[in-house]
Chains A and B, each alone.
Chain A
Amino acid sequence: MRRSLNITPVPGAAAAEALPRIVAFVEEMAELDDWAPDLVLRSNLILEELILNTLTHGRTSGLSDIEVTLESGENSVTITLVDDGAAFDPLNDEPSPDTDLPLQERSIGGLGLHLVRTMAEDLAYKHADGKNHLTLVARAGA
């Protein structure tokens, strides 16, 4: 099954207010296509990190829409995100955090995208037609 959801940033609203719709969208797909529980968790995590990142950093740069498309595969989900915010390559434009630093020197910056880049497979980004296009695959039990 293949389904899409459009997220429109709401002026003045916290980015996290978009989360319940994303979770409901994932759970509906998961139920219809019988996803494994860890596939549901991974898909939710990947979408939360990417979409909140876009809503937080893209809204000041003309962002008006994020289109989320999920397509069920064999124990996997292909996720496509297209947004019209400022050009941003989540695979390369933000360095991975140093995950070896001691406790008091650690900061949380960049950890969300690091989780996505590590957990997802077949990641591909391009900027075309004035939009960011990101495709990746979440896989169960990897």
Chain B
Amino acid sequence: MELAQERDAGTNVISPAGRVDGSNSAEFHESLMAALSGDDNRVILDMGGIDYISSAGLRVLLLLAQHLGGSATPFAVCSLAASVDEVFRISGFNQIITVFGTLDEAKAQLA
């Protein structure tokens, strides 16, 4: 799967694209971990390019959120498609991961 990345003054914005399912979730996990740096002041995962995520993908997001939570690095996701937002709400992920409507909101408010 494709994954774009942009760093700006300690803000690491990671933008994956495509579908995250049981067949590529291991690859998704590796790519996300490789995109992190110890110098990141905060991490934003822009999910705008993802229209499908199953529990295999949620597992990866949980591991990422727990990893960043362990180092007290602010972390948020943004731009969830309606289908992904539904999965987030059902699984209660919107209670454990900060969700912003847009990338601009995430950049402005995540602290």
Contacts and interface: CB of A to CB of B under 8 A. Distances in A.
Given A41-B51, A41-B52, A48-B54, A114 B91 contact: yes
Interface in B55-73: 55-56, 58-59, 62, 65-66, 69-70
Contacts of B87: 45, 115
Given A41-B52, A112-B54, A16 B23 contact: yes
B10 interface: no
Contacts of B86: 119
Given A38-B83, A49-B54, A104-B66, A19 B91 contact: no
Interface residues on A, range: 20 to 34
A28 interface: no
Contacts of A15: 22
Interface in A13-48: 15-17, 19-20, 38, 41-42, 44-45, 48
Given A41-B83, A114-B90, A106 B21 contact: no
A118 B90 contact: yes
The prevalent SS among residues of A at the interface is: helix
Interface string A83-109: 000000000000000011111101110
Interface residues on B, range: 20 to 34
A18 B59 CA distance: 20
A52 B62 contact: no
The prevalent SS among residues of B at the interface is: helix
Contact of B58 (A17, A52, A111): A111
Interface string B74-104: 0000000011001100111001110000000
A104 B97 CA distance: 11
Given A45-B54, A48-B54, A108-B59, A17 B23 contact: yes
Given A19-B21, A102-B96, A111 B91 contact: yes
A44 B23 contact: no
A49 B51 CA distance: 16
B55 A49 contact: yes
Nearest to B94: A99
Interface of A: 15-17, 19-20, 38, 41-42, 44-45, 48-49, 52, 99-104, 106-108, 111-112, 114-115, 118-119
